[in-house]
Each structure stands twice: as structure tokens, then as C-alpha cells.
Amino acid sequence: MSIDIAELTVGQEIGSRAIEVTRTDLVKYAGASGDFNPIHWNEPFATGVGLPGVIAHGMFTMGAAVQLVTDWAGDPAAVVDFQTRFTKPVPVADTTGTPEPGAVIEVSGAIGALDADAGTARVDLTVVAGGQKVLMKAQAVVRLA
């Protein structure tokens, strides 16, 4: 898909999605990333260090959120910058053996700025889990064709 910067407006929505997360997803991510910190899989350890329970990896949350932008752009390489601040953890309940997710991350995106000279659009993401913003100032810069 080719996006024409002239057809975009600041404030224009690019879409939204709900990402269901399970403890199994966290274990798979730990294996792929090499981040085996027990706060991401061991309930007694996580609560023992003051967390509400097992939490999703920050980079898992960040990667899940930016997927909305890469799908919209049609090419992951079009995202030339992505920055955020982690503000709240994403607790993931143990729903093993049930069809229910342990958490749901809700992501929506809108055009925050356009730079016609550079041929880029900044997409501002709203990322919420459990009714709370878990990422702040989540912004992706996309180079448009």
C-alpha cells in the first residue's frame, strides 16, 4: 500500500486493535528475546518484589503497539523512529486452561504531525491495558512512499 502524504491530515485516525496476551505469550517472548526475568513468568516472585503479579515485558508491549503502525504503513522498514515512555506495567493474569486472555492491550493511532519536506508522518499511539495508559508519548515516525 502506498500512502500519499497529501491525503493525510493531522488528527486522522489510522485504526485500532485489541491485542490479547496470555502467560504463554510471555514465555514465548522470553525465549525469543532472552529476557527470562522472573517478573514475567513467576507470580510469587513478581508479587514479592511489589508488582501486582506477572507483568508483560516492556518491549513486548512496545512491539505489540507499533504493529498497528507497520500494518498501516504496509512495510515495517517504513518506521524510521519509534519512541515511548513506559508508565504502567501490564499485569497478565494466569488464565492457563481457559480461552480467556490474561490481559488485553488496546492500541489506537492517529496522525500527530506531517512533514511534507521529509516525506514523513508522525503517528501518535494511545496504548491502554486494564483501563490505564501503559505507554505515554508513544510516537512512530513513518517515511511515506
From first to last of its 145 residues, the chain has per-residue pLDDT tens of 589 999 999 999 999 999 999 999 999 999 999 999 999 999 999 999 999 999 999 999 999 999 999 999 999 999 999 999 999 999 999 999 999 999 999 999 999 999 999 999 999 999 999 999 999 999 999 999 7
Strands (E), the chain: 13-21, 79-86, 103-115, 120-129, 132-143
User: Which superfamily is assigned to 5-22+56-143 in CATH?
Assistant: Hotdog Thioesterase (3.10.129.10)
The domain segmentation of the chain, as residue ranges, is: 5-22+56-143
- Residue 3 has a pLDDT of 93
Reference 143, options 118, 120, 125, 112; nearest CA is 120
Predicted TM-score (pTM) of the model is 0.93
